[in-house]
Every structure is written in structure tokens, then in C-alpha cells.
Structure 1
Amino acid sequence: MRSYRADVEAFENWCVENGFNAPFPAAVETACPFLEDRGKCLAPSTVQRRLYAIRKVRRLLRLPDPTHDEDINLAMRKVRRADTIRPHQAKGLTRNYLEKFLESEPDTPWGLRNRAMLELGYELMTRRSGLIALRNQDITEREDGSLRVLIRRSKAHPFGNGRIAFTSKRTADLLIEWLAYRGPDIGWLFCPISQGKVIDRCLETTTIRRVIKEAAQRCGLCADQVASFSGHSMRVGAAQDLLIRGCDTAAIRRAGGWESVKLLARYLEKAEHNVWA
């Protein structure tokens, strides 16, 4: 919803700046030049999302939908063919980086939580929103000491049916250590800490990004490298590591919840995997 709101606002602002008085109803004659103009500075996927936002608003307003017009289709084809902007991908938080980040965490309650959170996020290969939404009942300990985790909501599972993922025993041990400190009265798996005391609410998604970037800074990485990490880096890095370990695409898709090989391929394209070595 935030993305749709931002996209619609971008369309409205563009209309004002370029002399189109009425963004809605959005005529083909308005939408086409908007899409082609935005295609000069945005990735095609972003332009496509802006088109979807315009379509959604028109439907909500019960207005005729011109976004399937052939001129619109031609405009989007021009945008894709003129694709000079490579989609940005977060730098992968691969195992070698992860180990350094974990070691850099201080011996404090915050460090204890962050180590468990980074390790779990890496092995679950979940997005930030899925990681912070985990609750106690989503975790089940298995006979071998590892964990079975229900990730209820994600981009691919918005209605709560979720997917199942698993962890190693090492990650389970880190999480159990954190939970022993956190105590049984907190419903969220990971929660804020204030003055050494846990708070019964979930973390903000920005916390995960901040934890990763601060760890990168503590490890002495240059500013460009720090900037290249994001909250998505755990998902990218874990997928790349599994490829290098020799896991097939079916296993990686299963572990990370990807719906198609095409989507997974975008995560793997920058993996340092030389098949001839």
C-alpha cells in the first residue's frame, strides 16, 4: 500500500509539472508520456509498478481502465527495450561476511539478540518483514536440535498461509540463548531492548538494516561496501552460498520460498561460483 501511494503521488506530481491538469481519470494520452519519461530514469519493474498503481486507483474510483490499451502496451515495450538501468541488488551477506558480523557483535543483550537474528535471517532466507513478524508459536524444536519455522507472511504469501523453513542446530542454540534472556512473557521472537529491559512489541524493519550496516562498519568495510548491504542481503547471500555448496535450484527454491527459477536466478547471478575451477 505504501508503494502504491508513492507511485500515485509520483504520477500526480508529474502531471502537475508537465501541464496535465487532471491526473484522474488518467487518459491514455497522459499515461503513455508518463511511462516513457519515467523509463528514462527508473528500472522497467518500477515503471510497471507505477502503471499497476494507476490501474488500481482507477478501479477503486470505478473509472474505465485504459491501462490495457495497445498504446500503453507499446509504451511499456519501449521502456523495457530501452532498459539501460540494471536492477539493483543488495550485496550478498554470504557466510564469510556473516561470521565476521557475528564476531563483531558486543557481549551485551543487544549483541545476543542481533547474533540470533542475523543467523536466523540468513538460514530462513526471509525478508525483513517476515523475520520481525515471527512469534513464539512459529518455532518448533526438532529431534535433532534444529528448528522448524513457520514464516506466516511474506511477499509471496500475503494472506498468512506462509511457508515452512528449517535451521541448523547452531542457529537453534543461538536463538535459545536469546530466548532465555528475553523471557517467556514476550510474544514476539525478536523485540526491542531499552536500558537492558525487553519491550513487548516487534522490531521495526529498519532495525535489521541498521544492525547489518553497523556490523559492516565495525568490521572496517569501506563506505561503498557498507552502503551496498541492506536488510535483503541475508536472503541474497544465503542463496549464493547454497549454489556454491552444490545445492540444486529445486532445493534452493524450497529453502527460500521462491516461486520460480527466473526469480531465483536474479539472486544467484552475482554469486562467486566458477564451474571450471
Structure 2
Amino acid sequence: MDEIIPKGALLPLSSADDDLAQRLREFVQDKEAFAPNTWRQLMSVMRVCYRWASANNRSLLPMSPEDLRDYLSYLQSIGRASSTIGTHQSLITMLHRNAGVIPPSTSPLVSRAVKKINRVAVVSGERTGQAVPFRLSDLQKVEAAWADHQNLRNLRDLAFLHVAYSTLMRISEVARFRVGDVMRAEDGRIILEGSWTKTILDTGSLVKALGSKSSAVLTRWIVASGLINEPDAFLFSPVHRSGKVMPMIDAPMSTPALKSIFTRAWEAAGHTHTAKPNKNRYRRWSGHSARVGAAQDLARKGYSVPQIMQEGTWKKPETLMRYIRYVEAHKGAMVDLMENHDE
């Protein structure tokens, strides 16, 4: 239990309430029911909340509506974004529900506090951040830059960028593909059979098809690296400084290693300056950039929101709209009326 709630974070419990501790132990035992990133976020939030509760003589579990209101207000006072504050509230609610305790967020006191936080954030100019888009034209620039430098690392990086852009998958999801997941259609193009994503978790396979160009680039990497003979290895494995590929079977490449691919691509594309900071972040391409850029390219080509949602496995239209809001800005009814008005 101490993994999630440190000693001293609970209100004094009577013998009749000992089952709370047992429910927390069961919650920890069943942590595989949640995505690893969700669990890491929960641990991070609990550490921050526990430090605040200890410093202010408050209780973390059960947490009163007054304490949650004050905690969320504290987060805003130290400069946390409204989206981050919302994540804290959501995870504290998740903890209480799994502990069998009524979440403090059900109180109107907390609802008003959240509404105030969001209003203050909007009025003060806070905007939702967005990764710098990595578009098809960018992919072509990187490919041209590496055309005369066909070392194994560049081959791997280019293949990874092609797959990330073509599938609109998160980099952690792309990294989970294994060589054995590569299949061929009748015309030779590649079909990738994955397992699960952040929003798709079932026993049915996830199928992603690659175009001819991306299929050729990925094939070149698989053959040159020797991974074609390692069906159980992850599709994208480290390349040692000596130029030797080190097949990975137990775990995929780390997130920092995957993000460094976008850093090298940024430099290869000839960018000498970082982009205008967004929320003091997103100064260059990052792990989410290919997903953002591909969604925007699809929107520019006129594909419908349901089509793009299917490609990117989005469950909610509003999530996608945050990616393509600038692309769609001039497609509104009022702009169309003004542009096509016959006087």
C-alpha cells in the first residue's frame, strides 16, 4: 500500500475501516489493469499531493472537498496548466473510487473551483499546447538529406519516421511492433499487425497498412539490419556506435531514444532555429509530431473527421479537433458565406 499512499497520509482509521487499507492493497495488486503511463502519472500525482498535504496538515485519503479545492488552487498558484490540474483531479478521483471512498470531486465546492480555475486560465491567455507538426513535406526533406548517408542508424530512423507518420500511432505504440508483425499484401506492400494502442485494447489485432514508399523504406531497414532473421525482435532496435544492430526482445527502445530520432531529423531537415515556444515547450519536433502532422495533412486534403479519427484511433472528435483546429479555421460556414456571397 505504501507504494501509492505513504505512511501518515491517511486519516486515523478505526478497526471498522481497516478494509480501506485492504482495498488499496488490492488496487496496487491489480495495477496491470491500467496503462503503464496512467500508473506512472498516478504515482507522480500522489507524491505531489502528499507533499502538499503534509506541509499543510491535510489528509490525502479520504480527502475532503475543501482540501481538494485548496490543492487544485495551489497547483494553479504555482503555474500548473489547467489541463495538468484536471489530470490531478481525475487521478485523485480515481484513487478514491478504487479505495471505495466517495470522491471529493462530486461536491459543488470542487466543481466551482474547477470552473474558476479554467476561467482564469482562459482569460489570462492560456492555450492548449501542440507539438510542432511533422508533415509529409518534412519527411521528404529528411529523406533527401539522408539519401547520401545510408548508415544503419539513418536507415532505422527514416523507417521509424515513415511508420510513425503513416500509421498516426504514438511513438510508444510504433516501438512495440516486432519483426514478426510485418506481413505482405498481394502487391508487396507491408501490413503491420499490432496488438493495442492507448484507445484500443482488445484481443483483436490492430492492422495498419503502409504505402509503397514506406514499405520500401521499412524493407530496406529490415534487410540491412539483419532483423529479417529475428522475428521476435522489436522492429526498431538500437544501433551501436560500431554500426552493429542490437536486436531487442525483452523491451522496446526507450522513449528518450525514440524522441532523439526526431531531434536528428530536425537537424537533418536544415532547421537552424527552434520554433516559437508553445507553453514554453514544443520548440522542435517531438514524439507526437508525426501524429499531429499526419492528421493536419489529411485535413488539408479534405478527408472527413470520421476518416481521420479512424486512422488515428481517436475516440472523441474534440480530441482530433485540437490537432487540426488551425487547418479547419477557414472551413466554417460564416467564412464560406462571406467568401461566396453574390452581391
TM-score for the superposition, normalised by structure 1: 0.90
**Map of 2:243 onto structure 1:** 196
Task: State the SS of the aligned residue for 2:298.
Answer: helix
Deviation of residue 56 (structure 1)?
2.8
| CA 131–27 in structure 1, closer or farther in 2 if over 3 Å, else same | same
Distance 1:186 1:199, change over 3 A: farther
Residue 27 (str. 1) matches residue 64 (str. 2): yes
Which has the higher mean CA deviation after the structures are superposed, 147-156 or 208-217? 147-156
Which residue pairs with 2:230 in the alignment?
Answer: 185
In the TM superposition, what whole-angstrom CA distance separates every residue of 1:142-194 from its partner, at most 9, and x where no partner exists? 12332222332221124564533221011001111111122212521111122
% identical equivalent positions: 23
Larger mean CA deviation between 167-176 and 36-45 belongs to: 36-45
**Cα separation, partners in 2 of 1:253 and 1:21, compared to 1, 3 Å:** closer
List 4+ stretches of structure 1 deviating above 6 A: none
**CA separation of 1:15/1:159 partners in 2, compared to 1, >3 Å: closer, same or farther?**
farther
CA RMSD of aligned residues (A): 2.3
Q: Kindly tell me: are residues 235 and 131 of structure 1, through their superposed partners in 2, closer, same or farther at Cα, counting changes over 3 Å?
A: same
- Give 1:272 shift: 8.5
Equivalent AA in structure 1 for residue 321 of structure 2 = A
Letter in 1 for 2:243: G
Q: Provide the C-alpha distance between the structure 2 equivalents of 1:10 and 1:160, rounded to a whole number of angstroms.
A: 36
Residue type of the partner of 1:206? P
Alpha carbons 1:58, 1:65 under 8 Å: kept: yes
Residue 39 of structure 1 aligns to a residue in which SS?
A: helix
Aligned length: 276
Identify the residue that residue 173 of structure 1 maps to in structure 2. 216
Higher relative contact order (CA 8 A, sep 6+): 1
Residue 51 of structure 1 is matched in structure 2 by 89
Q: For residue 317 of structure 2, what is the amino acid of its counterpart?
A: V
Structure-2 separation of matches of 1:120 and 1:81: 40
1:27 Cα offset (Å) = 1.7
State the secondary structure of the residue aligned to 2:253. coil
Rounded to whole Å, the distance in 2 between the matches of 1:264 and 1:170 is 26
The C-alpha deviation readout for 1:209-257, integer Å capped at 9, x for no partner, is 1111122123332442282321000000011111112222222112111
Gaps spanning 5+ residues in structure 2: where? Answer: 1-38, 276-281
**Aligned counterpart, 2:288:** 232
Aligned residue type for 2:127: R
SS of aligned partner of 1:88: coil
